[in-house]
Amino acid sequence: MPTTDGQSGRMAAVEPPEKTSQRSAFIYAAMVAGAVGLFVIIKTAGKLLSAPAQSGPVRFGRIAQAAASGELAHVLLALVIIIVFARGLGAAFKKIHQPEVVGEVIAGIALGPSLLGRLAPSASSFILPVAVAPYLNIIASVGVILYMFLVGVELDTQLLRRRTHASVAISHASIITPFLLGSVLALYLYPRYSSRDVPFTVFAMFMGVSMSVTAFPVLARILTDRGMNKTRMGTIALACAAVDDVTAWCLFALVVSIAAAKPGRVLLTVGLTAFFIFCIFKFVQPAMKWLVRKRVRDKKTTQGTMVIVFAALLLAALSTDAIGIHALFGAFLLGAVIPHDSALARDVTAKIHDLVVVLLLPAFFAFTGMRTQIGLVNGLNQWLVCGLIILVASVGKFGGSSVAARITGLSWRQSASLGILMNTRGLMELIVLNVALDLGALKPTLFTMLVLMAVVTTVATTPVLHLLKGEEELEAQGYPGRGELRKAMKDA
Amino acid sequence: MPTTDGQSGRMAAVEPPEKTSQRSAFIYAAMVAGAVGLFVIIKTAGKLLSAPAQSGPVRFGRIAQAAASGELAHVLLALVIIIVFARGLGAAFKKIHQPEVVGEVIAGIALGPSLLGRLAPSASSFILPVAVAPYLNIIASVGVILYMFLVGVELDTQLLRRRTHASVAISHASIITPFLLGSVLALYLYPRYSSRDVPFTVFAMFMGVSMSVTAFPVLARILTDRGMNKTRMGTIALACAAVDDVTAWCLFALVVSIAAAKPGRVLLTVGLTAFFIFCIFKFVQPAMKWLVRKRVRDKKTTQGTMVIVFAALLLAALSTDAIGIHALFGAFLLGAVIPHDSALARDVTAKIHDLVVVLLLPAFFAFTGMRTQIGLVNGLNQWLVCGLIILVASVGKFGGSSVAARITGLSWRQSASLGILMNTRGLMELIVLNVALDLGALKPTLFTMLVLMAVVTTVATTPVLHLLKGEEELEAQGYPGRGELRKAMKDA
């Protein structure tokens, strides 16, 4: 009877495994009956007692009431719905050769005020009530911090070191062009979609950064899926995206520190950030290398090692938060100083990746969806503005990187493929936008437009790449590349 | 220069890896300078613009403000302090042969109002401000739900099936005795430490359950550390604790359902619970067995499998919460139907164990510590009551199981060892107490006394076991057992 494993007690009374079954069943039944009888007597005696009306006021009293079961249930409900829906939509998007993250982002938006909130407001406010938002936010924040740590761990510093002339030029062109175009666009958007409490400089820099982001993980995934990660264009794209990532995050940290610092304290923030980076490389990197050697000695990553890693992670996140840039920079930087090909990196990733990506990150998609209100984009005019943002973002990122790629000697087709890959924004863009919204540098309408921009540019990548399908993919599939073909034709 | 990996951009300008370094450095510098110049122009142009005073009121507006960076920082700070402190104290306790969990619980209490809150109130309210409590609670709740799931996964159902006459008798005596003694004690405590909004029956049952809990994980750990898990007494103790665990959780679920149900709905709750258990064994267990086979086919636990496991986990937790018993029962039961020796169980445990135990559970210790206020136990009289509770708990659990063990044929020394092992309460007790406090069935003073009881009974186990060090441990160390000695003496 394998289905009764979990019940034990009562079953044991009915079917004890030994010979004395009848006698012991009787004794056991008598024991239970006696116990129940005794409890009834105690219960009856207790009825006569009376308790104090209420215990006096207690200092930490309201902690006892904090987050009652109802809120936990709502958090669990929101999590399970977003996980199932986001994963389902992600799988559907994967079927049509789209990155899964697109499906997950759209699922978050659909559950928020933009779709479900319109069609069935009561369902929306049951699934994602406003009271749950702070809790989802904390779970999402912890998830994003851990995720950025993992992105840092996976960052192949070899890619940065083995950078070629081409990849440096392309990656910087692909940051500078969209950044400048974004700032120019800010001239148009600031009087319309910002507010007086945001200085123009901060607004323009945020617009610039939000145009410059590349989603390294999504890009890497697309390349791997198409078997292009080993081709020449693939290696250049990966190197560019890695450099972009690091540069964009540095730039973003600078912008956040300027936006968050009190006037006149910008230099202090920048100085502290530099000092923090110095400390990470000077003191934390050796410590992490020691942990890597310890992992090799121990033959496994012990719980003690994990305690050190988590404590260092939280401290790094706290430090950057205290400095005035966002907690996630510290997490990313700590991850980056763990050698990505070490056994420690593999173990740490294996131990936390799935929980973070499957359980915690969906809270981020749900929370982002709650804050994205497509209803705020009103009328043809605003939709045209939204289109303009998408256009400027794509021209900046796609144009900047593909022109630079062409100049450094790639074919037009290769340059265009590289440009469209760099135009992928994915999850990274959403992280930037959420930080900007938290800081008040973006207002909800513009936030929504930029989320749509992130979705559209990410969605556009695969079909455009498919149209441009060229020698790179043929090469990946084992066909000779164009160079070899030309050589073969010459030889013939 | 390995220390500059993370900086990339600027370094690349100074030391490009190719020959054309000077020319490209010049171009690059010009590019950056041009970009900065352009941005300054844009910035100056932007100064002339003015933005709207404030964007209008937005429906989900306050979500944008929910849980600002300050709260995230406080949550991170609380987590890192409790992790470092709890782990440090845990390691110190391990040095003196105490279970680590004791150190962790005491660390939580020390950081709360009981110690730090008295010595340095400002430090305490900086580290654990009341505003952070709800977030810590949610993180702790998610941690405890995942932890109970892991306890379920590790539950060896073979232990339940291979139960002997002795283990059934002992385990039930060790539940019934403390439960009844706890109820009797309730007669004394109810008029003094409860309040009128709690019916006596609920109060008495909670007191009974809180006396009956055994910490299976702590017990198993102590046995393994002393090499006693393969000895006869060790196997009996493990089997008893497993049966106890399941029985106590069933009893606890019953009590919670009675306490939480609206009057007259108790039967409905019990019926729904039975239906839920039926569904888990009828439908979910086969699904989990299918996942186990899928794991074997796939040769690894895919992310898709983890999505199913997490979704099932959340749904099970939500179901038991909706029924009116606590979310953690669903999580435990789901874990219990995953075969504990399957590759799936190993992978799932490896993927989530460390994050749960190292990062999330400390929030539970901190939150429990915040709610434990030793200051509420006032004067000699109340301390005597606290002592009485500890005495009754120990007499019930230790006495009940050791007498039953002696009757079923173990030596006095073995029986006493088994009794003291069953008296270990550890983390499980704290989970029960927190649920009772949440439901209002316990008031803060009594909660504190019971937390102290849990600590004292857990602390007592190892030294008493050491005093009783007998043939079991000699046997574990390779010496012949007493039976063999007698036989040898007879033969001689």
In this structure, what CATH number is given to the domain that contains residue A441? 1.20.1530.20
Of A98 and B334, more confident: B334
pLDDT-wise least confident of A320-329, A483-492, B184-193: A483-492
Residue A14, pLDDT score: 40
Q: Which amino acid is at B124?
A: S
Residue-number span of the structural domain to which A75 is assigned = 70-476
Q: Above 60 in pLDDT, residue A64?
A: no
Taking CB atoms and an 8 Å limit, are B51 and A194 in contact across chains? Answer: yes
Flag whether pLDDT at B65 surpasses 70. Answer: no
Domain annotation covers residue B489: no
Cβ–Cβ below 8 Å for B318 and A76: yes
CA distances to A22, B194, B219 from B405, rounded to whole Å, are 20, 35, 17
Position A58 scores a pLDDT of 42
Task: Say how many residues make up chain B.
Answer: 492
* Listed residue (B316, B105, B285) closest to A5, CA to CA: B285
Residue B162 burial (CB count, 10 A): 12
Please answer yes or no on whether B190 and A31 come within 8 Å at the CB atom: no
Please give the structure tokens belonging to residue B434. 């927190």
Helix axes of A412-422 and A216-225: crossing angle, nearest 10 degrees: 130
Rounded to a whole number, what is the distance in Å from the CA of A471 to chain B's nearest CA? 27
DSSP B357: I
Is A316 in contact with A334 (CB distance < 8 Å)? Answer: yes
| Mean pLDDT on B43-54 | 77
**What tokens appear for A82 in the block?**
């977003």
Residues of chain B positioned with their CB less than 8 A from the CB of A87: 307
Q: What is the pLDDT of residues B209-262, one digit of tens each?
A: 999 988 877 888 788 777 777 777 888 888 888 888 778 888 888 888 777 766
Q: Quote the CA–CA distance of B135 and A389 in Å, as a whole number.
A: 37
- Taking the mean position of all CA atoms in its chain, how far away is CA B212? 17
Q: A112 near A127, Cβ under 8 Å?
A: no
What is the band of A470 on the pLDDT scale with cuts at 50, 70, 90? low
Of the residues A15, A48, A49, A75, the best mutation for testing chain B's interface (the one with the most B CB atoms within 10 Å of its CB) is A49
Tell me the nearest-neighbour CA distance from B466 into chain A, angstroms: 27
Q: pTM for the whole thing? A: 0.83
**Whether A191 and B49 lie within 8 Å, measured CB to CB:** yes
Instruction: Flag whether B15 is in a domain.
Output: no
Q: Between A68, A169, A317, which is nearest B76 by CB?
A: A317
Give percent above pLDDT 70 in chain B: 85
Query: Per-residue pLDDT tens for B279-297?
Result: 999 999 999 999 999 999 9
User: Helix B133-154 crosses helix B303-323 at what angle (to 10 degrees)?
Assistant: 110
> What is the three-class DSSP state of B231?
coil
pLDDT over 50 (residue B176): yes
Is A80–B43 a contact, with Cβ atoms under 8 angstroms apart? no
Q: How would residue B96 be classed by pLDDT, with cut points 50, 70 and 90?
A: confident
The owner of tokens 């410590």 is A287
**Of B16, B141, B310, which has the smallest distance from its Cβ to A358's Cβ?**
B310
pLDDT of residue B487: 59
Residue B344 lies in a domain: yes
pLDDT at A24: 66
Q: Is residue B91 part of a domain?
A: no
Helices (H) and strands (E) in chain B, counts: 26, 0
Chain B residues in contact with A104 by the CB 8 A cut-off are: none
pLDDT of residue A392: 94
Contact (CB, 8 A) for A323 and A317: no
Interface A:B, Cβ pairs < 8 A: 401
Higher pLDDT, A202 or A311: A311
Predicted local confidence at residue B224, as pLDDT: 79
pLDDT digits (tens, 9 = 90+) for B179-212: 999 999 999 999 888 888 888 888 998 999 999 9
pLDDT digit string, tens, across residues B371-384:
888 888 888 999 99
How many Å apart are CA B454 and CA B104, to the nearest integer?
A: 13
Q: What is the pLDDT of residue B308?
A: 93
| Average pLDDT rounded to a whole number, residues B457-480 | 72
- Say how many CA atoms lie within 13 Å of B484 toward its Cβ: 8
A362-412: pLDDT as tens digits: 889 988 888 888 888 888 999 999 999 999 999 999 999 999 888 888 888
Instruction: List b or e across B17-33, with b for residues whose CB sees 16 or more CB atoms inside 10 angstroms.
Output: eeeeeeebeeebeebee
What number is the average pLDDT over the span B125-136? 85
**pLDDT score for B292:** 92
Residue B88 belongs to some domain of the structure: no
A373 and B58 within 8 Å at the Cβ level: the answer is yes
User: A420 near A464, Cβ under 8 Å?
Assistant: yes
Which tens digits make up the pLDDT trace of B396-426?
999 999 998 888 888 888 899 889 999 988 8
Structure tokens at B202: 């609920």
| Per-residue pLDDT at B173 | 87
The per-residue pLDDT for range B418-445, each reduced to its tens digit, is: 899 999 888 888 988 988 888 888 888 9
CA A285-A146-B109 angle, to 5 degrees, is: 95
Which carries the bigger pLDDT value, residue B21 or residue A165? A165
3-state secondary structure chain A: CHHHCCCCHHHHHHCCCCCCHHHHHHHHHHHHHHHHHHHHHHHHHHHCCCCCCCCCCCCCHHHHHCCCHHHHHHHHHHHHHHHHHHHHHHHHHHHCCCCHHHHHHHHHHHHCCCCHHHHCHHHHHHHCCHHHHHHHHHHHHHHHHHHHHHHHHHCCHHHHHCCCHHHHHHHHHHHHHHHHHHHHHHHHHHHHHCCCCCCHHHHHHHHHHHHHCCCHHHHHHHHHHCCCCCCHHHHHHHHHHHHHHHHHHHHHHHHHHHHHCCCCCHHHHHHHHHHHHHHHHHHHHHHHHHHHHHHHHHCCCCHHHHHHHHHHHHHHHHHHHHHCCCHHHHHHHHHHCCCCCCHHHHHHHHHHHHHHHHHHHHHHHHHHHHHCCHHHCCHHHHHHHHHHHHHHHHHHHHHHHHHHHHHCCCCHHHHHHHHHHHCCCHHHHHHHHHHHHHHCCCCHHHHHHHHHHHHHHHHHHHHHHHHCCCHHHHHHCCCCCHHHHHHHHHHC
Asked if B180 and B208 touch (Cβ cutoff 8 Å), the reply is: yes
Nearest to B16 among A165, A197, A306 (CB): A165
Residue B43 pLDDT: 81
Token pair of A399, please? Answer: 């144009």
**Which range has the worst mean pLDDT, A64-68, A82-86, B383-387?**
A64-68
Structure tokens at B448: 């504190």
Q: Is the pLDDT of residue A8 over 70?
A: no
For B295-327, the pLDDT digits (tens) are 999 888 888 899 999 999 999 999 988 887 788
User: Whole-angstrom Cα distance, residue A190 to residue A187?
Assistant: 6
Asked if A100 and A457 touch (Cβ cutoff 8 Å), the reply is no
User: B463 or A260, which is more confident?
Assistant: B463
What value does the mean pLDDT take over residues A43-67? 59
The C-alpha of B241 sits at a distance from chain A's nearest C-alpha, in angstroms, of 12
The reply to whether B400 falls in a domain is yes
What pLDDT does A312 receive? 95
Nearest-angstrom CA–CA distance, B332 and B329: 5
Residue owning tokens 């309040």: B195
Total of domains in chain A: 1
At A66, the pLDDT band (50, 70, 90 cuts) reads very low
The three-state secondary structure class of B196 is coil
Rg over CA atoms, chain A: 28
Q: Hunting for tokens 């559209």 — which residue is that?
A: A456
Query: A410 to each of A58, A238, B108, B223, how far by Cα in Å?
Result: 72, 15, 61, 67
In a domain, B8, yes or no: no
Q: For residue B311, which residues of chain A lie inside 8 Å, CB to CB? A: 80, 83-84
User: Do B376 and B195 contact (CB within 8 A), yes or no?
Assistant: no
Three-state SS for B17? coil
Residue B16 has its nearest CB partner, among A87, A168, A355, at A168
User: Tokens for B324?
Assistant: 């009116």
* Residues of chain A found within 8 Å of residue B68, distances taken between Cβ atoms: 438
Per this entry, what is the length of chain A? 492
CA separation for the pair B422, B414 (Å, rounded): 12
Q: What is the mean pLDDT of residues B161-165?
A: 66
Judge: A53–B337 Cβ closer than 8 Å, yes or no: no
Q: Do A43 and B198 touch (CB under 8 A)?
A: no
Which among A6, A77, A138 is the nearest to B246, CB-wise?
A: A6
ipTM over 0.95: no
Note the pLDDT tens digit of each residue in A206-238: 999 999 988 887 888 788 777 777 777 888 888
Choose among A76, A160, A192: nearest Cβ to B314. A76
- Average pLDDT (A341-359) is 91
Q: How far is B425 from chain A (nearest CA, A)?
A: 20
Asked if A46 lies within 8 A of B204 by C-beta distance, the reply is yes
Does residue B315 fall inside a structural domain? yes
Does A115 have pLDDT greater than 70? yes
